[in-house]
Amino acid sequence: MSQSFVPVPANSDFPLENLPYAVFSTENNKVHRICVAIGEHVLDLKAVSQLYPFQVQKSLQAETLNELMGLDFEAWDVVRSQTQKLLTKGSELDHNVDLKAVSIVPQSEIKLHLPAQIGDYTDFYSSIHHATNVGIMFRGPDNALMPNWRHLPVGYHGRASSVVVSGTPIRRPLGQTFPDGAEKPVFGACKLLDFELEMAFFIGGKGNQLGEPIRVDEAWKNVFGFTLMNDWSARDIQKWEYVPLGPFTAKNLGTTISPWVVPTAALKPFLLDNFPQEPEVLPYLRQNIPFNFDINLEVSLKPADQNEALISKSNFKHLYWTPLQQIAHHTVTGCNLRPGDLMASGTISGETPDSYGSLLELCWKGTKTLELPGGKTRKFLQDFDEVIIRGHCEKHGLRIGFGECVGQVLPAHPVPQ
């Protein structure tokens, strides 16, 4: 790969081979615009849209990524290829001093927003290690996985309106719980607030018409790109409310995503074989192409007025069900997907305790204590705790990063009298 005329520091998440998309504004221009990250800067794609083929220009002038997502994968390749050319040393943009001055913006001077208008949000439960851990806690080792788990990608419909961009504070929720030993439910602030280490992908392409499934080996055409996610979870509220229809208010309090959407094309060097599945899945879920990735994930916890501490290291490769199987199952009924829809992995846990993707697992339902620097401890999140999720791929000197997914817990509102 050629070098960019924009400086890219060593170990940057955002080299020329990455170019993740985001939506930004600046102090002197409040209009939301699409950009890509390069090093410690962004390229304003609206400012240089005239340098792209006519058929994609309008999508680069939009205020969200939805229109670009709604093009096909061939158009995405055109945009990506032209962006790499423009950012290369000696390019047309490199020689245009005036255009370069207005289109290359330091990240320190921008505000990042949600990358897309999210119409629908589906959260899956695709990590076999996480599902097994939770099953052991609540049902015992002999019945850890429910009978359907190895046969279909379990999921539920989330709340799109409370998906927020990294940096948005999350208010501790109020709700009903049924504490151990209580005779009736009580109302108050959640006491068992947790994070969930997840990744998500945005639906792109033309989508599918209502009644028309997407075949598993064609589903890759509908994966625009990936982002980091923290799907906050109120464990005590969930325990009381989830039977029989699953989580509701325990999950709609907020879901944080990174502002950066890494295109699938940037992840191709990190493709892995899919997770082995036993027993063999039904024909509509049998995937013949690899769509698993070696993405290193980590979670740090930062108490108020303290330095952050690394508490978990996991990897996307631990997911049992792939994004393509998730799409195939989601649409097998004929459910129609739309550009900008968000699909999440569910908590990503590895095999070892240091790779668990939630405090529920790290502290094993509150029976263990997480030790933090300075003598602090945690079993669940406290007010003003900050959770930082990071992710990157690295191989043969190439690093592709996802930036950060950050959220801080704010105290609950006073309980209404």
Cα atoms in the 13 Å half-sphere on the side-chain side of 202: 36
The verdict on whether residue 280 carries a ligand-binding annotation is no
Residue 153, preceding peptide bond in cis (omega within 30° of 0) = no
Nearest to 274 by CA among 338, 340, 334, 219: 219
Question: 129, 130, 318, 330: which one is catalytic?
Answer: 130
Alpha-carbon separation of residue 318 from 42, 197, 375, 389 (angstroms): 32, 12, 32, 17
User: 198: annotated binding-site residue?
Assistant: yes
Residues in the chain: 417
Residue 123, marked binder: yes
Instruction: Express the helix, strand and coil content of the chain in percent, nearest 5 each.
Output: 25, 30, 45
Contact assessment for residue 290 and residue 273, using Cβ atoms and an 8 Å cutoff: yes
| 3-state secondary structure (DSSP) of residue 139 | helix
Query: Smallest Cα–Cα separation from 253: which of 223, 232, 229?
Result: 232
Beta carbons of 249 and 241 less than 8 angstroms apart: yes
**Would you say 319 and 351 are in contact if contact means Cβ atoms under 8 Å apart?**
no
**Both tokens of residue 293?**
């990735």
Please write down the HEC assignment for all residues of 209-225.
CCCCCCCHHHHHHHEEE
Cα dist from 341 to 157, 160, 375, 389, whole Å: 11, 9, 43, 22
Residue 251 marked as a ligand binder: yes
Please tell me whether 139 is known to bind a ligand.
yes
Known binding residue 255? Answer is yes
Q: How many CA atoms lie within 13 A of 132 on its CB side?
A: 15
Q: Taking the alpha carbons of 108, 254, 159, 297 in that order, is the dihedral positive or negative?
A: positive
Distance from C-alpha of 24 to C-alpha of 52, rounded to nearest angstrom: 20
Is 231 within any annotated ligand binding site? yes
Query: DSSP string of 44-95?
Result: ETTTTGGGS-HHHHHHHTSSSSHHHHTS-HHHHHHHHHHHHHHTBTTSHHHH
Return the SS3 of 133: helix
Distance CA 357, CA 378 (A): 15
130 assigned to active site: yes
Annotated binding site for Mg(2+): 231, 251, 255
Annotated binding site for substrate: 125, 139, 238, 242, 347
Annotated binding site for Ca(2+): 123, 196, 198, 231
* Residues with a known catalytic role: 130
Annotated binding site: 123, 125, 139, 196, 198, 231, 238, 242, 251, 255, 347
